[in-house]
């Protein structure tokens, strides 16, 4: 080990990795960037395979890395038994049982392995605090009905988390219009847009999208994200605004996202517990 103080960004797909890299660059940091093979967000990024995790961790230490952050989506990789090196092979039982227990469990095991190797795993909020808004009204603000709808959505998302389901729901006039599942937030909002007319009172509260991490989720991985596309899809769905658990969601492209919300007449509310 070289005892450095560099950060490594494990980049996944989506907009989070570029946002984290931009924030680090703003802070004058030059992180090591790597991606699981098949999930690199762009060209020119060092790739590693899970079957060679131990040599990869050693190479990070050799480069002076002492902290690792995960940025972006990774799906379960397929494993090729022939590619395991002997040291990583000793971790196979843990890796396999983790992968079989679902994405959250798999990431928890990965975090534990990194930390055992002396690589501290830190979250987006630690690396790039501006990406994870604290409590407050960023654009506009909810009225009393919107607050009621948000409260009901909080309850639903909490309950869904216990079922290991998604991290989002849409509630209008106290009624749950949609729940986030595998196809994701924008698919859910398109569904709401297609069924707008079902709100019992056409002139009543327009509804709230609420997003939050799962209860008990490790905040160092896979936070729900909100961005310009989310705002535009929420406008098409006719919602009053977007709320999320303060400190538990990533706000991407903040300037553009806030501008889109203002233009679409949506509130953006980082809601405290």
Hey, what are 162's tokens?
Answer: 């216990």
Q: How far apart are CA 218 and CA 33, in angstroms?
A: 22
25 or 198: CB nearest a second copy: 198
Checking 75-81 for CB contacts under 8 A at 24+ apart, the result is 75/39, 76/103, 76/106, 77/36, 77/37, 77/38, 77/39, 77/49, 77/50, 79/50, 79/51, 80/49, 80/51
CB of 57 to a second copy, least distance (A): 27
| CA distances in angstroms from 127 to 80, 121, 160, listed in the order given | 33, 10, 29
Asked if 191 is part of the footprint of a second copy (rule: CB under 8 A), the reply reads yes
Burial class (CB in 10 A: 0-12, 13-18, 19+), 171: buried
Asked if 163 is part of the footprint of a second copy (rule: CB under 8 A), the reply reads yes
CB of 203 to a second copy, least distance (A): 14
Binding residue for a second copy (CB under 8 A) from 24, 113, 177, 266?
Answer: 177
Asked if 118 is part of the footprint of a second copy (rule: CB under 8 A), the reply reads no
CB of 162 to a second copy, least distance (A): 7
| Binding piece for a second copy, criterion CB under 8 A, among 4-12, 124-132, 174-182, 233-241 | 174-182
Binding residue for a second copy (CB under 8 A) from 1, 83, 96, 175?
Answer: 175
Asked if 96 is part of the footprint of a second copy (rule: CB under 8 A), the reply reads no
Binding residue for a second copy (CB under 8 A) from 19, 154, 156, 208?
Answer: 156
43 or 202: CB nearest a second copy: 202
Total binding residues for a second copy by CB under 8 A? Answer: 24
Asked if 165 is part of the footprint of a second copy (rule: CB under 8 A), the reply reads yes
Asked if 176 is part of the footprint of a second copy (rule: CB under 8 A), the reply reads yes
Nearest in space to 252 (alpha carbons), one of 269, 234, 220, 230: 230
Binding residue for a second copy (CB under 8 A) from 95, 99, 107, 160?
Answer: 160
Binding residue for a second copy (CB under 8 A) from 76, 116, 118, 272?
Answer: 76
| Spatial CB neighbours of 47, under 8 Å, sequence gap ≥ 6 | 34, 35, 36, 37, 38, 40
Hey, what are 79's tokens?
Answer: 């494993």
Hey, what are 52's tokens?
Answer: 């060679």
Binding site for a second copy (CB under 8 A): 75-76, 155-156, 159-160, 162-163, 165-166, 175-179, 181-183, 187, 191, 194-195, 198, 200
């Amino acid at each position: 080990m070289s005892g450095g103080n560099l950060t490594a960004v494990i980049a996944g797909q989506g907009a989070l990795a570029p946002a984290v890299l931009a924030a680090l660059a703003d802070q004058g940091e030059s992180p090591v960037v790597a991606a699981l093979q098949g999930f690199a967000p762009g060209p020119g990024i060092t790739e590693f395979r899970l079957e060679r995790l131990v040599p990869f961790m050693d190479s990070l230490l050799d480069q002076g890395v002492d902290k690792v952050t995960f940025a972006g989506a990774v799906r379960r990789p397929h494993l090729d038994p022939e590619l395991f090196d002997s040291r990583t092979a000793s971790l196979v039982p843990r890796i396999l049982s983790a992968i079989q227990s679902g994405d959250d469990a798999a990431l928890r095991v990965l975090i534990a392995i990194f930390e055992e190797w002396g690589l501290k795993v830190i979250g987006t909020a630690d690396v790039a605090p501006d990406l994870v808004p604290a409590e407050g009204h960023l654009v506009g603000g909810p009225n009393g009905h919107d607050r009621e709808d948000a409260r009901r959505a909080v309850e639903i998302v909490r309950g869904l988390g216990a079922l290991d389901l998604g991290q989002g729901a849409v509630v209008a006039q106290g009624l749950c219009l949609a729940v986030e599942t595998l196809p994701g937030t924008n698919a859910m909002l398109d569904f709401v847009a297609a069924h707008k007319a079902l709100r019992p009172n056409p002139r009543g509260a327009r509804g709230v999208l609420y997003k939050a991490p799962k209860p008990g989720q490790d905040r160092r991985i896979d936070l729900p994200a909100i961005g310009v596309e989310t705002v535009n899809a929420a406008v098409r769905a006719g919602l009053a605004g977007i709320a999320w658990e303060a400190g538990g969601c990533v706000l991407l492209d903040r300037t553009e996202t806030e501008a889109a919300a203002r233009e679409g007449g949506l509130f953006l509310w980082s809601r405290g517990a």
